[in-house]
A and B are shown apart, each in its own frame.
Chain A
Amino acid sequence: MTEKYEFEKKYRNQVLRCSACGFCRSDCPVFGATLRSSYNARGKMLLLKEVMDKKVELNDELIETLFQCTTCANCSTHCPSGVEVPEIIKQARQDMVHIGSCHPVFKGMHEVLQKHTNIYAEDEPADIEGRRKETAQYVYFIGCVGAYREEEATAATLQLLDQLGVDYTLIDEACCSGVLEDVGYQINTDLAGKNIERVLDTGAGAIITGCPYCSRTFNNKTQFAALKDNGVKVFHLSQFLKDFDFGVQTDKRVTYHDPCDLGRHCGIYEEPRDIIRKIAPNFVEMAHHHAEALCCGAGGGVRGAYAKNSIAMARRRLAEAEAVKAEIVLTECNSCVHNLSNAKLRRQKFKIYNMSQFISELLKAA
């Protein structure tokens, strides 16, 4: 059989292996928010199967489902048949972009990152006050959302690092551009090169990232292999902070939202909880946690392209925080903080923080 598209060449057996059992109905956040079966993993795999059978063409008609996936990996984590849905979707998106079918928002994002160094096309450098040194033990890498949308949280994080006496420096960041691979394009090697060069210039032995997505891009993508080759390690902030003793506690009822990029994609579940155990004895898990955690709805470009459904997903997650009567919702991803905060209803009185921001506030109040 002639294989027309790359996704067929790479994932034909995977697509066929989907037994259409439908178990992903309980895992897919887009389906959970819409109850529309064409949006869940089974709906997508059946569509791709029909593409492979030459019954359906890859074209603009398929954008709405193939580009509406947060790549949260809840489906693949729990798929009895072991189908790697996010990888298949990402490849199918690349095939679609190749033939000229793409969601306009993602096309725009690609164009922005050809001209700018951040996804928001802001030419001014991020207004973040933090250490800038010629050399340091660590580079603290903020990420686009932290630098341009969650500045307050980032400022608090930097303050915490200062208070802990961490020898770090900021750099003139460029977007890691990992998201481009998610939405049908390739990582921008120019941007990757700039980041690598600036990190290596500092002589730092490790990068601490505030963004779990940047962390996994640096660790897993070949475009950033030079970091590893030069002995530079990459940690997410939660991995770095877990061994510190902060000497402060809250008696508030705290819950934790596992970011998909940190949890399901990197397997980091316990480090954030290790920190929480030290600072918040009144900790409670939401109904879905660890590998079962609901996605906040921001990933895979869905926040930009399908804002209404993205917010609906965030509201499902916040309803779980409300159900356990949390006063504080902690997470470890600026993108999650941003989307959850946007979706919060007025009656929901809990506060949403990045862990480091919350610790910083506790220290301030102490």
Chain B
Amino acid sequence: MDSKTKEALIKIVGPDNFTDRLIDRVSFSYDSSGLSRRPAAAVWIENTQQVADVMKLANEHKLAVTPRGAGTSLTGSAVPQEGGLVLDMSRMNRVLKISIEDRQVVVQPGVVFDDLNQVLAPSGFFFPPNPASGKVSTIGGNVATNAGGIKGAKYGTTRDYVLNLEVVLPNGSVLHTGSNTMKCVSGYDLTRLFVGSEGTLGVVTEITLKINPKPQATTTCTATFDDLPQAGKAVSEIMCSGIVPSVLELIDSANLEAVNQATDLDLPEVAAMLLVETDGYTQEEADRQMDRVVEALQNNHAGEIVKTSSAEEAEKLWAARKASYGVLTRLNNNVLAEDLVVPISKVAEMLAGILDIGKRHNILIGTVAHAGDGNIHPVLVYDGTNPDEVERVKKVEADLFKLALDLGGTLTGEHGVGMSKASYMNQEHDPVFMQVMNGLKNLFDPNAILNPGKLGLEV
């Protein structure tokens, strides 16, 4: 970075909030995807004005800028441009307003997901999307990737809760989208456009979220299966049974083995396990829904079915499930998590296909799934230092994407496109779709300075 730009940045954020030190540049080169590109510098942001001033400067100098929260992206969407600038938003981490009467909360982008729910807990309300990385991921990052999680089937994803945003555009102007109301059709829905845009259109500096009253009662059950696709069939029947579980997760044998290595849960190492939670405002309500679930599980030849109303036991299960990405490196030194979604009726077919593809290319695939919304995460476990295996992993990835698309699915449900799926966007979308995407990008960011190389865009 030239000294003039460096001086200008220091003038905006202060000397303590600028770094071009090697230790920081290495750290900011990566996210959780394993991809990396080395930025020239990074700034820690404290307020909206600083973002506006930095963007204006970057726009003038055509300097690539990548906003970043906790850097837990699994697709490289937080990996900066080589020689670019990172905006670390994690120090803008204040909950600005909690308005229970309006069922709203206003936060800065660096607030950590779990921290927000801890702050909300005494009020009996919660922000439902529950990403596996929630103990560290930031709301800003959740918005940028439209993060989902284990509550998706019943409660949806981040997008369903964002009422309005404050966004700094690449030219430094500040845009306010949406309104503070529960409904709003006053103009284009720019809020939803920004959610999931992976920091390619603007830098989100303030977020107003809708919050929900938290159901007070839950029932949890686990069910084992000797056959992975059979668990998929059980999922389809549960989702047709007239109730919507608050959690419906699938864990396969590789994950069960790794979880057992990492915890003292001693889970049965069967072909697949379903973890189901139903919730309600009374225990009876939760239990009655669970009765329907158990019926569907039994109809689909589940082995052992174990129910619990103990929040503590359930919490251990969810914690283990959320750590499944990391625990798989206990089986080998590299993991690649995919994020396919298929129509719920196709879950069993997709699961069978995953087994087949893994076998064909001799790559271990550990699969977890937010099965209730058809969101399947095959996680490829391999030796990243073996070029032959790395090559086979690429083939597995291509085959998985093709199968998901053939089944009427999508490349990504909640992780985003980032860098890792960028080259596959043309397979999922037609030229007109990509043309509109590129047109929108050019409208907001004509100099293509914001998070370049993401989403399969031309810039």
Contact = CB atoms under 8 A, between A and B. Distances in A.
A270 interface: no
Contacts of B30: 20, 46
Most buried by B among A46, A61, A79, A81: A81
A21 B176 CA distance: 32
Contacts of A189: none
A62 B70 CA distance: 22
A47 B384 contact: no
Interface of A is mostly: helix
B254 to A, nearest CB: 14
A37 interface: yes
A13 B23 CA distance: 22
B91 A35 contact: yes
A37 B330 contact: no
B421 to A, nearest CB: 18
Interface string B37-80: 00000001000000000000000000000000011100000000
A133 interface: no
Interface string A53-92: 0001000011011000000000000011110000000000
B326 A38 contact: no
A50 B32 contact: no
B29 A22 contact: no
Contacts of B112: 26
A36 interface: yes
B28 interface: yes
A17 B135 contact: no
A23 interface: yes
A81 B31 contact: no
Given A80-B325, A80-B326, A25 B23 contact: no
B21 interface: yes
A43 interface: yes
Contact of A22 (B72, B261, B328, B330): B72
B70 A25 contact: yes
Interface string A1-42: 000000000000100111111110110000000011110001
Interface in B1-49: 21-24, 26-34, 44
B261 A21 contact: no
B323 interface: yes
A46 B32 CA distance: 11
Interface string A260-280: 000000000000000000000
Given A17-B329, A17-B330, A35-B44, A26 B27 contact: no
B32 A21 contact: yes
Given A16-B334, A17-B333, A26 B262 contact: no
A21 B23 contact: no
Nearest to A66: B23
Interface string A86-110: 0000000000000000000000000
B293 to A, nearest CB: 28
Given A22-B72, A22-B136, A79 B326 contact: yes
Interface in B90-143: 90-91, 93, 112, 114, 133, 135-137
A23 B136 contact: yes
A289 to B, nearest CB: 15
Contacts of B330: 17, 81-82
A23 B326 contact: yes
Contact of A21 (B26, B27, B326, B384): B326
B27 A47 contact: yes
Interface in B231-256: none
Most buried by B among A17, A20, A62: A20
B23 A81 contact: no
B327 A47 contact: no
A61 B26 CA distance: 12
A46 B329 contact: no
A20 B71 CA distance: 9
A332 to B, nearest CB: 25
Contacts of B135: 23, 26
A26 B326 CA distance: 15
B136 A38 contact: no
A173 to B, nearest CB: 38
A23 B72 CA distance: 9
B350 to A, nearest CB: 24
B41 to A, nearest CB: 13
Contacts of A37: 24, 27-28, 71, 88, 90
B29 A81 contact: no
A56 B329 contact: no
Given A16-B385, A21-B72, A43 B325 contact: no
A64 B21 CA distance: 10
B376 interface: no
A22 B70 contact: yes
A37 to B, nearest CB: 5
Contacts of A23: 133, 135-136, 323, 326
B58 to A, nearest CB: 21
A157 B118 CA distance: 39
Given A35-B91, A82-B262, A19 B326 contact: yes
A80 B72 CA distance: 14
A36 B23 CA distance: 10
B297 interface: no
Nearest to A37: B27
A346 to B, nearest CB: 25
A50 B28 CA distance: 13
A64 B23 contact: yes
Nearest to B93: A35
B91 A47 contact: no
A16 B32 contact: no
Interface string B317-352: 000000111111110011100000000000000000
A56 B24 CA distance: 13
A79 B23 CA distance: 22
Nearest to B68: A37
A43 B19 CA distance: 15
B325 A56 contact: no
Interface in B405-459: none
Given A21-B32, A37-B71, A81 B327 contact: yes
Nearest to A63: B23
Contacts of B88: 37
A22 B71 contact: yes
Contact of B23 (A17, A26, A38): A38
B261 A25 contact: no
A61 B21 contact: yes
B27 A46 contact: yes
B27 A20 contact: no
13 contacts: A16-B333, A19-B329, A20-B34, A21-B32, A21-B323, A22-B71, A36-B24, A37-B27, A46-B27, A56-B22, A61-B22, A79-B326, A81-B327
Task: Return the 7 tightest CB-CB contacts between A and B, nearest first.
Answer: A80-B326, A80-B323, A38-B27, A16-B333, A43-B27, A81-B329, A25-B136
Interface of A: 13, 16-23, 25-26, 35-38, 42-43, 46-47, 50, 56, 61-62, 64-65, 79-82
Given A16-B385, A64-B23, A81-B329, 7 more contacts: A17-B329, A19-B328, A22-B136, A35-B91, A36-B24, A64-B21, A81-B326
